[in-house]
């Protein structure tokens, strides 16, 4: 009996040991599979990061981030994509920029998907120098369907702007023209303009100059058109003023408009002055609030103009203070100090004069007898004030009244 019990016990322990061994083998196998999977995953990630950095020029940080979205198991297709891009003028910088934004592009079909789109944009007349920059500017361009989105959009735009050159000009203003539903977004707003009698030539101008203003919500766009009409602009006029006003109002929030309005008022402008200047040059309100304040301060306190003088030529707000206005004022300062030009010169119009006209009249004509004008015009001389020969501002203003 005792021997029987011992035999049964040995058999039971043997079975338990066998089961434990089986479970150990199963666990080990599972662990090995898991380890192998992790190892493969790490290898793929390592290959992905390495390829993005070495072949695409992507930074380590961007490559690690991209490796969480894509996994490169074979470089065959990515190599073909990069070769296609290089063939069409993409530099290392362009490629790094584009792939950083859109790493999945490496898995696109270069012949069926990418090449036809690139060739289509080239057919529009986008130069080989501009094309890479254009395609890198918006990652959604190369994701858009050529047949269902890009070609229909451009065919619609061509019906209004007529030439590929104008389409390219509009694209430079907004790449959203490629990927938005033009028929649903822009066409209703064009219909609103047409219902108000806006000439087709001005609609074309608006598309080319500021297509984003036509991407406004239809109800808001109706409100913009109504507001511009209330300001006294004639929608049926062949002048560009109406569409330029549309462009400006559509691009400005109410808060920004009010802030700029208050900035002008702080220098003594009235509501009538603001509106009068807006009718002359609607785009002056697109200048930043900071720039408006800087220019008004310069005109009033450095040049000695009356605040309302600028209402005659609000285009001055669109000019560069450092590159245009100060150099010209410096030239005038030298010529006035030497008595070569009258001090009652209409400074406003001189500042707004075309570049060639100003250079011929005030630089070239005087550079022999007053060589300093060339240095002043090149920004190499400090501008102290247009009427620096006068003792103080009060005398300067007295001089203006006389």
Under the banding of pLDDT at 50, 70 and 90, the label for residue 10 is very low
What pLDDT digit, counting tens, does each position of 94-122 carry?
Answer: 999 999 999 999 999 999 999 999 999 99
Q: Does the pLDDT at position 400 exceed 50?
A: no
DSSP string, 25-62: HHHHHHHHHHHHHHHHHHHHHHHHHHHHHHTT---HHH
Q: What is the Cα–Cα distance from 122 to 225, expressed in whole angstroms?
A: 36
Contacts of 18 (CB under 8 A, 6+ apart): none
Q: Does the pLDDT at position 390 exceed 70?
A: no
Q: Does the pLDDT at position 4 exceed 60?
A: no
What pLDDT digit, counting tens, does each position of 220-239 carry?
Answer: 999 999 999 999 999 999 89
pLDDT given for residue 127 in this prediction = 85
Contacts of 248 (CB under 8 A, 6+ apart): 278, 282, 283, 285, 286
The backbone torsions φ and ψ at residue 29, rounded to the nearest 5 degrees and listed phi first, read: -60, -45
What pLDDT digit, counting tens, does each position of 356-385 carry?
Answer: 999 999 999 999 999 999 999 998 888 888
Q: What is the mean pLDDT of residues 7-21?
A: 48
pLDDT given for residue 108 in this prediction = 92
pLDDT given for residue 23 in this prediction = 52
Lowest mean pLDDT among 17-21, 215-219, 247-251, 328-332: 17-21
What pLDDT digit, counting tens, does each position of 157-193 carry?
Answer: 999 999 999 999 999 999 999 988 888 989 999 999 9
Q: Does the pLDDT at position 25 exceed 50?
A: no
What pLDDT digit, counting tens, does each position of 30-79 carry?
Answer: 433 433 343 444 555 688 999 999 999 999 999 999 888 889 889 999 99
Q: Where are the alpha helices (DSSP H) in 124-240?
A: 130-137, 151-161, 164-173, 176-179, 182-185, 187-195, 200-209, 218-230
Q: Does the pLDDT at position 391 exceed 80?
A: no
Q: Does the pLDDT at position 346 exceed 50?
A: yes
Among 336, 344, 334, which Cα is nearest to 370's? 334
pLDDT given for residue 286 in this prediction = 96
pLDDT given for residue 395 in this prediction = 42
pLDDT given for residue 360 in this prediction = 95
Lowest mean pLDDT among 86-90, 178-182, 228-232, 298-302: 178-182
Q: Does the pLDDT at position 13 exceed 80?
A: no
First to last CA, the chain: 139
Among 52, 137, 60, which Cα is nearest to 103's? 52
Q: What is the mean pLDDT of residues 120-143?
A: 90
Whole-prediction pTM: 0.75
């Amino acid at each position: 009996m005792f021997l029987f019990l011992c035999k049964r016990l040995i058999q039971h322990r043997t079975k338990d040991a066998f089961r434990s061994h089986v479970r150990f083998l199963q666990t080990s196998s599972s662990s090995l599979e898991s380890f192998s999977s992790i190892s493969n995953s790490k290898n793929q990630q390592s290959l992905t990061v390495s390829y993005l950095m070495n072949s695409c020029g992507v930074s380590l940080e961007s490559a690690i981030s991209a490796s969480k979205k894509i996994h490169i198991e074979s470089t065959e297709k990515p190599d073909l994509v990069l070769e296609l891009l290089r063939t069409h003028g993409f530099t290392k910088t362009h490629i790094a920029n584009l792939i950083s934004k859109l790493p999945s592009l490496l898995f696109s079909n270069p012949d069926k998907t990418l090449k036809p789109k690139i060739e289509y944009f080239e057919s529009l007349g986008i130069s080989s120098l501009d094309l890479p920059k254009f395609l890198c500017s918006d990652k959604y361009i190369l994701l858009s369907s050529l047949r269902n989105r890009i070609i229909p959009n451009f065919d619609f735009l061509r019906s209004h702007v007529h030439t590929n050159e104008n389409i390219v000009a509009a694209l430079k203003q907004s790449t959203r023209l490629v990927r938005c539903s033009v028929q649903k977004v822009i066409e209703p707003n064009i219909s609103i303009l047409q219902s108000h009698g806006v000439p087709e030539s001005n609609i074309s101008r608006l598309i080319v100059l500021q297509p984003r203003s036509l991407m406004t919500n239809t109800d808001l766009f109706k409100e913009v058109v109504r507001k511009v009409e209330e300001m006294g602009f004639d929608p049926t006029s062949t002048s560009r003023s109406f569409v330029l006003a549309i462009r400006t109002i559509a691009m400005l929030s109410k808060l920004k408009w009010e802030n700029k309005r208050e900035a002008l008022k702080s220098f003594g402008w009235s509501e009538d002055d603001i509106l009068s200047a807006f009718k002359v040059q609607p785009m002056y309100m697109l200048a930043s609030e900071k720039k408006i304040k800087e220019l008004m301060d310069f005109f009033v306190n450095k040049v000695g103009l009356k605040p309302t003088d600028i209402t005659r030529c609000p285009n001055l707000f669109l000019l560069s203070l450092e590159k245009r206005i100060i150099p010209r004022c410096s030239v005038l300062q030298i010529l006035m100090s030497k008595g070569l030009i009258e001090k009652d010169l209409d400074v406003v119009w001189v500042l707004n004069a075309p570049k060639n006209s100003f250079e011929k009249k005030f630089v070239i004509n005087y550079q022999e007898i007053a060589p300093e004008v060339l240095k002043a015009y090149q920004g190499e001389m400090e501008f102290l004030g247009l009427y620096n020969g006068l003792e103080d501002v009060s005398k300067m203003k007295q001089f203006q009244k006389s």
